[in-house]
Amino acid sequence: MADGADNKTHFGYKQVEKDRKAEMVADVFHSVASKYDLMNDLMSFGVHRYWKRFTIECAAARPGMKVLDLAGGTGDLTAKFSHLVGETGEVVLADINDSMLKVGRAKLHDMGVVGNVSYVQANAEALPFPDNHFDIITIAFGLRNVTEKEKALKSMQRILKPGGKLLVLEFSKPQNALMQKAYDFYSFQVIPRMGSMVAGDAESYRYLSESIRVHPDQETLKQMMLDAGFDQADYVNMTNGVVALHRGYKF
């Protein structure tokens, strides 16, 4: 049996039992699901759309490819991939949270995105897909919420085809002190108030800000990807490192 320290993980700045974290994160996203897209636009001043567009460009999806949009939430990336892979391709929108999946499915159906998209409720640490199955895997703003990130990265590496790529879009560490100071003020003073006013939930948005600070920085996550079996990994900073796109390749 694991000792107390080994069985703990972070939930924002709190230390919690590992087997409780998934449920606690689920509660956060059940709470924010209905206002998720609106809050993303407000919190990022719409810049999240640029970050996601760059991720799509780096993915270089082509007709006939199989794509997994992991922790895909309300389906922003799935919608783009569905168009790019066409009728002969396949896109799976997977999320551990059923509330987010329901919002994503309804949104994509309203957009007319049907036919080549399927929906799967799945835990990133034990993905229910065959080995060497997907050409591209993306996980946007989801990895920091995973309890065992190392297990999740190994699971992604397993189901990625040789020649495939993983794209991890995630908040990261700003590259200068002035940006870090401004970012901290905005994250802890403005975002929870915004969450309270718009979504009626300050605590969930306080957790989201804290979860960013305890997430591995750029170099640490790059090494974690290599340790998980990716043959090559790199990253690109955006908005001065507030967000980074990590890329892992399986040869």
Answer whether 0.85 is exceeded by the pTM: yes
**pLDDT surpassing 80 at residue 3:** no
pLDDT digits (tens, 9 = 90+) for 161-175: 999 999 999 999 999
pLDDT digits (tens, 9 = 90+) for 39-60: 889 999 999 999 999 999 999 9
Write 9-16 long-range contacts (CB < 8 A, 24+): 9/147, 10/211, 10/214, 11/207, 11/211, 12/206, 12/207, 12/209, 12/210, 12/211, 12/214, 13/210, 13/213, 13/214
Predicted pLDDT of residue 126: 96
Output the average pLDDT for the chain: 93
pLDDT digits (tens, 9 = 90+) for 97-124: 999 999 999 999 999 998 999 999 999 9
**pLDDT surpassing 60 at residue 5:** no
Percentage of the chain modeled with pLDDT above 90: 78
Mean pLDDT of 206-216: 92
Annotated binding residues, written as ranges, equal 74, 95, 123-124
Annotated binding residues for S-adenosyl-L-methionine, written as ranges, equal 74, 95, 123-124
> What is the chain's percent helix, strand, coil content, to nearest 5?
50, 25, 25
Cβ–Cβ under 8 Å, residues 92 and 120: yes
Residue 225: pLDDT band (50, 70, 90) is very high
Q: Which residue ranges make up each domain of the chain?
A: 9-175+207-249
For residue 198, is it left (φ>0), alpha (ψ between -120 and 50) or beta? alpha
Mean pLDDT of 128-152: 97
CATH fold for domain 9-175+207-249: Rossmann fold (3.40.50)
**pLDDT surpassing 90 at residue 36:** no
**For every residue of 204-246, which 3-state class applies, written as one string?**
HHHHHHHHHHCCCCHHHHHHHHHHCCCCEEEEEEEHHHCEEEE
Largest interatomic CA distance in the chain? 51
Amino acid symbol at 6 = D
